[in-house]
A and B are shown apart, each in its own frame.
Chain A
Amino acid sequence: MAEAQNIPVGSTTAGSIAVAAESTVATRMSAPPSFDVADFPVPHGREEEWRFTPLERLRGLHDGTATATGSGVKVAVEAPAGVTVETVGRDDARLGRAGTPVDRVAAQAYSSFEQASVVTVPKETVLTEPIRIAVHGEGGTAYGHQVVELGAFAEAVVVIDHTGDAVLAANTDYVLGDGAKLTVVSVQDWDDTAVHVGQHNALIGRDASFKSVVVTFGGDVVRLHPRVAYAGTGGAAELFGLYFTDRGQHQEHRLLVDHNTPHCTSNVVYKGALQGDEAHAVWIGDVLIQAAAEGTDTYEMNRNLVLTDGARVDSVPNLEIETGEIAGAGHASATGRFDDEQLFYLMARGIPESEARRLVVRGFFAELVQQIGLADVEERLIAKIEAELEASV
Chain B
Amino acid sequence: MATLEIRDLHVSVEADNASREILKGVDLTVKQGETHAIMGPNGSGKSTLAYSLAGHPKYTVTGGTVTLDGEDVLEMSVDERARAGVFLAMQYPVEVPGVSVSNFLRTSATAIRGEAPKLRTWVKEVKEAMARLSMDPSFAERNVNEGFSGGEKKRHEILQLELLKPKIAVLDETDSGLDVDALRIVSEGVNRVRESGEVGTLLITHYTRILRYIKPDHVHVFADGRIAESGGPELADKLEAEGYEAYTKGGVSL
* CB-nearest residue of chain A to B92: A341
Q: Is B54 an interface residue (CB 8 A)?
A: yes
- Chain A residues lying within 8 Å of B97, measured Cβ to Cβ, are 336, 360, 363-364
Q: Is B82 an interface residue (CB 8 A)?
A: yes
Query: How far, in angstroms, from A4 to B56 measured CA to CA in the complex?
Result: 46
* CB-nearest residue of chain A to B79: A347
Query: How far, in angstroms, from A359 to B104 measured CA to CA in the complex?
Result: 8
Task: Please give the distance in Å from A363's CB to the nearest CB on chain B.
Answer: 3
Q: Is A351 an interface residue (CB 8 A)?
A: yes
* CB-nearest residue of chain B to A356: B79
Interface secondary structure of B, over-half rule = mixed
Task: Please give the distance in Å from A343's CB to the nearest CB on chain B.
Answer: 8
| 8 Å CB contact of A363 from B77, B96, B164 | B96
Q: Is A92 an interface residue (CB 8 A)?
A: no
Whether the pair A344, B78 counts as a contact (CB closer than 8 A) is yes
Q: Is A47 an interface residue (CB 8 A)?
A: no
Whether the pair A359, B77 counts as a contact (CB closer than 8 A) is no
Whether the pair B108, A350 counts as a contact (CB closer than 8 A) is yes
Q: Is A377 an interface residue (CB 8 A)?
A: no
Q: Is A387 an interface residue (CB 8 A)?
A: no
Interface secondary structure of A, over-half rule = helix
Within 8 A of A (CB), among B62-99: 77-79, 81-83, 87-88, 90, 93-99
* CB-nearest residue of chain A to B105: A349
Interface size on A, residues (CB 8 A): 24
Query: How far, in angstroms, from A353 to B80 measured CA to CA in the complex?
Result: 10
Whether the pair B98, A349 counts as a contact (CB closer than 8 A) is no
- Chain A residues lying within 8 Å of B87, measured Cβ to Cβ, are 348
Q: Is B57 an interface residue (CB 8 A)?
A: yes
Within 8 A of A (CB), among B158-173: 160, 164
Given contacts A360-B98, A364-B97, A367-B98, contact A347 B77 (CB under 8 A): yes
Query: How far, in angstroms, from A353 to B94 measured CA to CA in the complex?
Result: 16
Query: How far, in angstroms, from A360 to B99 measured CA to CA in the complex?
Result: 6
Contact string against A for B residues 95-124, beta-carbon threshold 8 Å, 1 for contact and 0 otherwise:
111111001100110011000000000000
| B→A interface (CB under 8 Å) | 54-57, 77-79, 81-83, 87-88, 90, 93-100, 103-104, 107-108, 111-112, 143-144, 160, 164
